[in-house]
A and B are shown apart, each in its own frame.
Chain A
């Protein structure tokens, strides 16, 4: 009766071979990887030094103004400003800037790659059916799994963190760009065609602008995913708020964990609200 509970055979996957393959890929493509590393590092450094150059109170004022413009309520602006101020007040400002620069870099790369992919798969059902399972995989694969090859290919630090974060965060922008374009009212697209638009004209002048709100919602989601991932990425040496949380966990310092964790939450809320408000404004116009 034992056979009822046993699999008919055991498939041995040679995980070591996969490891070797990745390693040898890293070695063989050292030049390209080096180039990417340098490029990303340069991007991160410039974002970080720009953020670092701005005095803290200017950022606080900017957040206040944005919050006020968005909701037309002074109260909201003040709440946002106080939230941002409190991060600096507890001494986490420099770490927050590090986190923010990784988030900004990842979102920028996601947008740059994800938006065109989204547009392409919206035009082609075949491409869409190929890309979709890949997106599912990228989104559901445990996030730590990305960290391993990222380390192998790019070493430790913030560069692999950007890579891992981008893989995780690119999905919503691709998905929602695709969805938004496909959901544009069919008559509107027909109208564009009936006047003799080329495919590109219809896409640029009609479909993308009509899908704008959905695409922005995708960008907002991408931002949130990046924010979530960047904390995890501290495990491979990306310094920032996540690192602070990680250290607290390792040392079982509940208080420190709570403070840095709260800072992550505040940053996430601010990014979410400020980017979401923009989407709503656009939707109301439409």
Chain B
């Protein structure tokens, strides 16, 4: 992984609700869990000892069930919630120590938020809602209107600029919410389950919209969700939370291949693995490789001894050039030709980092297993069978675990 600069750093962040917070903190330090603390002290543990780094320009997804503290955490970033203890740094600034005025400026210039139920002001229309952030910053009337209209266009709401909020559908409302947040040109965008209130089709549209906007703008996005597929689809990195603690932080791929514990495993169970796993995970080493300068006889011998109908052909640098079939090799032998003359180059190729989802679309009209390349070098092959086995293997494992439990 390349080294990236952390824009937000969270250190030992905790948020407790209740009177005997001191006592509760002692218990938590000794490793007591949320329920135990609640029973003994009456204190609700919303967050406990959260540590994480969020890099500039990445989409960081925080996922967890309701009550896991994810909304509380995201509200600490712009101090809608004040943490009980711990620190949050934005660049090198401790957010907890900002003065009132600094906090206002921080919220106005650096960070913006999109809400689950949109948080739109029903007494204002679309464009004046989008303008709101600029209005309270005292940006001139004309300037803020221009900016707002531009944002409205970007989220695909042109034609609705002067519609009242009440007349919009859920998806459109959230587009307004997004436009309003972006109008401020924040560096960090907080999104608190922004698509949870939308129906599945609209949700997919909005995810796509967000991805394409993110491609253009490269903001740091902190995205809260309880949908594992959404998390894996959008997140560069994902943090799983449980009972106010962070259980695991990692890329979607890391989580699938190496879940920290059973809780994470269980959570991931619902994920569509084909979208996360890459060619690397499902490929197998080709049994039979021949070089371009090898003779046809050698190729035939190689295929026969491995009992396969075709061989993968590489040049001296191990760069993939094509496939040779047993028939083709025999014909070449009869005509005294070399391997490279009987080469079939019409072979599907994928990059080693392509998702299984992408690989699967190639099988439709593939005569041979798909070649997996890194750069130009052959790293493995994927057959239909190997994909199906890998995907069903992991779900098979889970089936077993379930029946045992």
| Interface residue ranges of A148-194 to B (CB < 8 Å) | 185, 187-188, 190-194
Bitwise, B110-153 to A at CB < 8 A (1) or not (0) is: 01110111111111100000001101110000000000000000
Contact B184 A209 (CB under 8 A): no
Bound Cα distance from A201 to B120, whole angstroms: 16
Contact A196 B136 (CB under 8 A): yes
Contact A188 B119 (CB under 8 A): yes
B136 to chain A, nearest CB (A): 5
Bound Cα distance from A210 to B111, whole angstroms: 24
B105 contacts A by Cβ under 8 Å: yes
Bound Cα distance from A280 to B33, whole angstroms: 51
Chain A residues whose C-beta falls within 8 Å of the C-beta of B164 in the assembled complex: 285
Chain A residue total in the interface (Cβ 8 A):
20
Most buried by B among A197, A209, A212: A197
Chain B residue total in the interface (Cβ 8 A):
33
Bound Cα distance from A187 to B118, whole angstroms: 8
Contact A195 B123 (CB under 8 A): no
Chain A residues whose C-beta falls within 8 Å of the C-beta of B106 in the assembled complex: 196
B107 contacts A by Cβ under 8 Å: yes
Contact A194 B113 (CB under 8 A): yes
B226 contacts A by Cβ under 8 Å: no
Chain A residues whose C-beta falls within 8 Å of the C-beta of B111 in the assembled complex: 194
Contact partner of B117 (CB less than 8 A), chosen from A187, A194, A209, is A187
Bound Cα distance from A191 to B124, whole angstroms: 14
Interface of B is mostly: mixed
Contact partner of B136 (CB less than 8 A), chosen from A190, A197, A212, is A197
Bound Cα distance from A205 to B135, whole angstroms: 10
Contact A187 B108 (CB under 8 A): no
Contact A198 B119 (CB under 8 A): no
Chain B residues whose C-beta falls within 8 Å of the C-beta of A13 in the assembled complex: none
Chain A residues whose C-beta falls within 8 Å of the C-beta of B180 in the assembled complex: 191, 195
Contact A195 B118 (CB under 8 A): no
Contact B80 A194 (CB under 8 A): yes
Contact A212 B123 (CB under 8 A): yes
B325 contacts A by Cβ under 8 Å: no
B347 contacts A by Cβ under 8 Å: no
Most buried by B among A185, A188, A195: A195
B137 to chain A, nearest CB (A): 7
| Interface residue ranges of B163-191 to A (CB < 8 Å) | 164, 166, 180, 184, 190
A206 contacts B by Cβ under 8 Å: yes
Contact A193 B107 (CB under 8 A): yes
Contact partner of A194 (CB less than 8 A), chosen from B107, B118, B121, B123, is B107
Contact B105 A286 (CB under 8 A): no
Contact B136 A205 (CB under 8 A): yes
Bound Cα distance from A198 to B168, whole angstroms: 28
Bound Cα distance from A206 to B132, whole angstroms: 10
Query: Closest chain B residue to A189 by CB distance?
Result: B119
B78 contacts A by Cβ under 8 Å: yes
A102 to chain B, nearest CB (A): 33
Contact A286 B78 (CB under 8 A): no
Chain A residues whose C-beta falls within 8 Å of the C-beta of B135 in the assembled complex: 205
Contact B80 A190 (CB under 8 A): yes
Contact A195 B133 (CB under 8 A): yes
Most buried by B among A193, A194, A198: A194
Chain A residues whose C-beta falls within 8 Å of the C-beta of B109 in the assembled complex: 196
Bound Cα distance from A281 to B132, whole angstroms: 25
B362 contacts A by Cβ under 8 Å: no
Q: A197-B136, A285-B123 are in contact. List 16 more A-B contacts (CB 8 A).
A: A187-B116, A187-B117, A187-B119, A188-B121, A190-B113, A190-B119, A191-B113, A192-B121, A192-B132, A194-B113, A194-B190, A195-B184, A196-B104, A206-B121, A209-B124, A210-B121
- What are 13 pairs between A and B in contact, CB < 8 Å? A187-B116, A187-B117, A188-B120, A192-B121, A192-B132, A193-B80, A194-B78, A194-B80, A195-B108, A198-B104, A205-B136, A206-B121, A285-B123
Interface residues of B (CB under 8 A from A): 75, 78, 80, 103-109, 111-113, 115-124, 132-133, 135-137, 164, 166, 180, 184, 190
Interface residues of A (CB under 8 A from B): 185, 187-188, 190-198, 201, 205-206, 209-210, 212, 285-286
